């Protein structure tokens, strides 16, 4: 609440202004009129006003004003939790109405204000007298007993499907019981999280324009219920809780969150849906900051189909975030361009001298290995390409599909160019050699970029990004292999070797070592995709 007025600091003297409330006690939902007044002839040009629980630094409740000289501010993600000036005209008094929250762990509050007399003279943290909380402390939610009613009176959604929160604390669960005209909903949520569990109603399976209820820890570590609307991949906007009653909360073992409440708020999604009673159901869970602000979720589950909130008999199951066909696409591309394609390129560049004049069908062994591996890579790429397009049936947008299409096109061009190459001793053979090498380099670079962007999609909502780090480790490993192979190639031109391995050539040893590391990185990424 400190103005950013250059190097000027707040006054330490007593402020010539006061903050007063028209009540000395309050309970949930009460409205208090707060007045900012001057004590003498001094006037203030600017101000900021918040309500806070005694001893806390987080704003609480919401303000309502009609004065054109006053504007709302959103602080700590809570809309209308603060008010401030709209102009620098002199003021002798300001009045605002504050509304207490209707849920959460409430306690005594005080109103705090900043007064600005001029650019260099201002006071911060001017307090009102404490307003004593006389309401009823938040009631602990009973142990979740919703499962017997699922399919009978309640629409339920859980992950794993049909898990029982009374027996499995690793269960993420939500239940909605609506009145016949959907004017009232009894909502329950349960799950494990360090900060919050949230449930949402959406017109589609993507986040954005979703009606959300959050049950999470506030700055004091107590559970509170909040109403919000999501705006995509940014933090949701906290709304006024509205007509929410009978809130019950329980926090077990510090991370098992259980909340239930009755909401008479109308579900608002900026609806594009044809039915106002059918929504995709969402559950998300994640950490909160020390100020009680929710952070990016670590778990997210979305129903496979829309749920009719007035039809409890339906079975609502979780949609797989990445279907098996998408995972197969990713695995095939990894195998193609991390392993078979990479080894085929290394053999063609560095191992032509190994088993020279030995092979099959008048072709050297290195050539047969190179052609076989690259043909396998192109075939697997084509299969992966067909799989993902048959699943999406549309252009998804973004860099990944563009890179994938370029890899597919060049992968098909490369063998066509090779099929029409001239003889090794032809005077224009160098044209093919340069074209073949350039296309191979382009495919490799584009494939690596496609893999990185694809893994980023798998880890879109994960903070650690470990698969991207593993891929970075693989790129480093491959670069090191190329450097060592190149050094050995230069040494051979001088009738030398970078290291002596007896009967085994250094380039063969380096290839074996590369293959072992390659498989380790590949298996790690395949496991990661399988678990996504």
CATH of the domain at 160: 2.60.40
Cβ pair 328, 446 in contact under 8 A: no
Instruction: From 235, 206, 216, 209, select the one nearest 295 (Cα to Cα).
Output: 235
The rounded distance, in Å, linking the Cα atoms of 98 and 81 is: 9
**Model pLDDT, residue 112:** 93
Residues 518 and 393 in one domain: yes
Q: Specify the 3-state DSSP secondary structure of 176.
A: strand
Q: Note the pLDDT of residue 357.
A: 64
CA torsion, ordered 36, 58, 294, 218, to nearest 10 deg: -130
What does the alpha-carbon distance between residue 220 and residue 154 come to, in Å, rounded to a whole number? 33
pLDDT of residue 460: 66
The candidate with the shortest Cα–Cα distance to 414, out of 441, 393, 452, 454, is 441
DSSP assignment of 80-138, as one string?
Answer: EEEEEESS---BSEEEEEEE--SSSS---EEEEEEEESSSS-EEEEEE---BEE-SPPP
Rounded Cα–Cα distance for residues 466 and 345 (Å): 27
Same domain, 171 and 281: yes
CA dist 34 and 61 (Å) reads: 13
Q: Quick check: bond before 418 cis, omega within 30? A: no
Which domain CATH number covers 441? Answer: 1.20.120.1770
Residues 33 and 169 in one domain: no
Cα→Cα distances 13→17, 111, 125, 126, 341, Å = 12, 19, 12, 11, 74
- Asked whether residue 224 is domain-assigned, the answer is yes
117 domain residue, yes or no = yes
What is the helix (H) or strand (E) element at residue 185, kind and residue range?
strand 185-192
> Counting Cβ atoms within 10 Å, is residue 195 exposed (0-12), middle (13-18) or buried (19+)?
buried
Query: Domain ends where: 318, 347, 362?
Result: 318
Instruction: Give yes or no: residues 286 and 350 share one domain.
Output: no
Q: How many Å apart are CA 368 and CA 218, to the nearest integer?
A: 65
Closest CA to 220 of 49, 51, 77, 55: 55
- Distance between start and end Cα atoms, the chain: 43
- Same domain, yes or no, for 126 and 198? no
Greatest CA separation for the chain: 105
Can you tell me the distance from the alpha carbon of 126 to that of 13, in angstroms, rounded to the nearest whole number?
11
Residue 167 is encoded by which pair of tokens?
């027996």
Inter-axis angle of helices 324-334 and 429-458, nearest 10: 140
CA separation for the pair 523, 525 (Å, rounded): 5
| Neighbour count for residue 161 (Cβ, 10 Å) | 13
Kindly state whether residue 144 falls inside one of the protein's structural domains. Answer: no
* The pair of three-digit structure tokens given for residue 446, joined into one six-digit string: 């584009």
Nearest C-alpha neighbor of 256 from the set 297, 228, 215: 215
* Same domain? 282 vs 353: no
pLDDT at position 411 is: 92
Question: Does residue 113 sit in the same domain as residue 174?
Answer: no
In this structure, what token pair is assigned to residue 309? 């909130």
**Is there a single domain that holds both residue 186 and residue 107?**
no
CA separation for the pair 259, 244 (Å, rounded)? 13
359, 370 Cβ separation under 8 angstroms: no
Q: Report pLDDT for 521.
A: 95
Q: Which pLDDT does position 363 carry in this prediction? A: 76
Same domain assignment for residues 339 and 442: yes
Dist. CA 215–CA 198, nearest whole Å: 6
Q: Give the separation between CA 462 and CA 470, rounded to whole angstroms.
A: 15
Residues 300 and 329 in one domain: no
Helix axes 399-419, 365-392, angle to 10 degrees: 140
Compute the CA torsion angle 321, 272, 152, 263 (nearest 10 deg).
100
**Single residue among 285, 318, 351 that ends a domain in this structure:** 318
Whether residue 149 is contained in a domain is answered as no
* Number of separate domains in the chain: 3
What does each of the 532 residues of the chain score in pLDDT, given as a tens digit? 888 888 888 888 889 999 999 999 998 888 999 998 998 888 889 999 999 888 777 788 888 887 777 888 887 666 788 899 988 888 888 888 999 887 666 788 999 999 999 989 988 989 999 999 988 765 555 444 446 688 888 999 988 777 888 777 778 999 999 987 778 899 999 999 989 999 999 988 877 889 999 999 988 788 899 999 987 667 888 888 888 888 888 888 788 899 999 999 988 886 544 456 789 999 999 999 888 888 888 888 888 888 888 888 877 776 666 778 889 999 999 999 999 999 999 998 888 877 676 667 667 788 889 999 999 999 999 999 999 888 877 776 678 999 999 999 999 999 998 888 888 888 888 888 899 999 999 999 999 999 999 998 887 656 567 899 999 999 999 999 999 999 988 888 887 777 777 778 888 899 999 999 999 999 999 998 887 7
d(CA 255, CA 286): 10
Q: Where are the alpha helices (DSSP H) in 393-465?
A: 399-419, 429-458
What is the domain-level CATH number for residue 93?
2.60.40.4060
Instruction: Mark which of 133, 164, 198 sits at the end of a domain.
Output: 133
| Strand-pair category, 31-38 with 25-26 | unpaired
350, 418: one domain: yes
List the beta bridge partners of residue 43.
none
Q: Does residue 516 belong to any structural domain of this protein?
A: yes
Residues 6+ positions from 34 with CB-CB distance below 8 Å? 19, 20, 21, 22, 49, 51, 95, 96, 97, 98, 111, 128
Domain that holds residue 85: 17-133
Residues 118 and 221 in one domain: no
> Is residue 147 domain-resident?
no
- Structural domain includes residue 12: no
| Residue 309 · residue 178 · CB < 8 Å | yes
Residue 8 belongs to some domain of the structure: no
């Amino acid at each position: 609440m400190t103005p950013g007025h250059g190097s000027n600091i707040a006054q330490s003297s007593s402020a010539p202004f006061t903050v007063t409330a028209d009540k000395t006690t309050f309970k949930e939902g009460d409205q208090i009129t707060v007045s900012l007044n001057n004590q003498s002839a001094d006037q203030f040009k600017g101000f900021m006003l918040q309500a806070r629980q005694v001893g806390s630094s987080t704003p609480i409740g919401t303000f309502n004003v009609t004065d054109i000289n006053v504007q709302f501010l959103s602080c700590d993600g809570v809309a209308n939790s603060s008010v401030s000036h709209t102009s620098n005209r002199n003021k002798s008094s300001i009045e605002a109405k504050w509304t207490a929250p209707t849920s959460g762990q409430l306690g005594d509050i005080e109103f705090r204000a900043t007064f600005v007399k001029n650019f260099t003279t201002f006071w911060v943290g001017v307090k009102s007298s404490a307003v004593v909380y006389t309401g009823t402390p938040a009631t602990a939610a009973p142990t979740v007993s919703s499962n017997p009613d699922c399919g009978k009176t309640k629409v339920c959604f859980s992950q794993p499907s049909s898990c029982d929160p009374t027996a499995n604390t690793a269960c993420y669960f939500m239940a909605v019981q609506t009145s016949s005209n959907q004017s009232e909903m009894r909502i329950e949520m349960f799950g494990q999280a360090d900060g919050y569990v949230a449930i949402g109603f959406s017109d589609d399976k993507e986040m954005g324009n979703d009606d959300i209820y959050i049950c999470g820890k506030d700055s004091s570590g107590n559970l509170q219920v909040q109403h919000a609307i999501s705006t995509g991949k940014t933090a949701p906007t906290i709304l006024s809780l509205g007509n929410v009653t009978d809130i019950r909360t329980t926090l077990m073992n510090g991370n098992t969150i259980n909340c239930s409440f009755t909401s008479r708020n109308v579900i608002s999604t900026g609806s594009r849906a044809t039915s106002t009673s059918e929504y995709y159901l969402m559950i998300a869970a994640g950490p909160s900051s020390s100020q009680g602000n929710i952070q990016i979720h670590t778990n997210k589950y979305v129903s496979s189909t829309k749920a009719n909130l007035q039809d409890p008999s339906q079975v609502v199951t979780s949609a797989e975030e990445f279907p098996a066909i998408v995972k197969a696409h990713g695995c095939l591309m990894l195998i193609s361009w991390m392993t078979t394609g990479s080894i085929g390129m290394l053999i063609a560049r560095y191992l032509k001298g190994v088993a020279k004049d030995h092979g099959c069908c008048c072709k050297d062994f290195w050539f047969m290995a190179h052609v076989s591996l690259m043909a396998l890579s192109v075939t697997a790429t084509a299969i992966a390409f067909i799989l993902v397009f048959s699943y999406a049936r549309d252009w998804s947008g973004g860099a990944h599909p563009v890179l994938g299409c370029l890899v597919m096109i060049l992968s098909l061009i490369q063998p066509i160019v090779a099929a029409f190459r001239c003889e090794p001793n032809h005077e224009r053979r160098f044209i093919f050699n340069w074209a073949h090498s350039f296309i191979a380099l382009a495919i490799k670079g584009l494939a690596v970029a496609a893999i990185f962007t694809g893994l980023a999609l798998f880890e879109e909502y994960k903070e650690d990004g470990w698969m991207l780090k593993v891929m970075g480790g693989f790129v480093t490993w491959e670069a090191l292999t190329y450097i060592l192979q190149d050094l050995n190639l230069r040494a051979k031109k001088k009738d030398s070797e970078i290291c002596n391995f007896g009967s085994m050539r250094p380039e063969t040893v380096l290839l074996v070592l590369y293959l072992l590391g390659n498989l380790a990185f590949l298996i790690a990424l395949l496991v990661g995709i399988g678990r996504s």
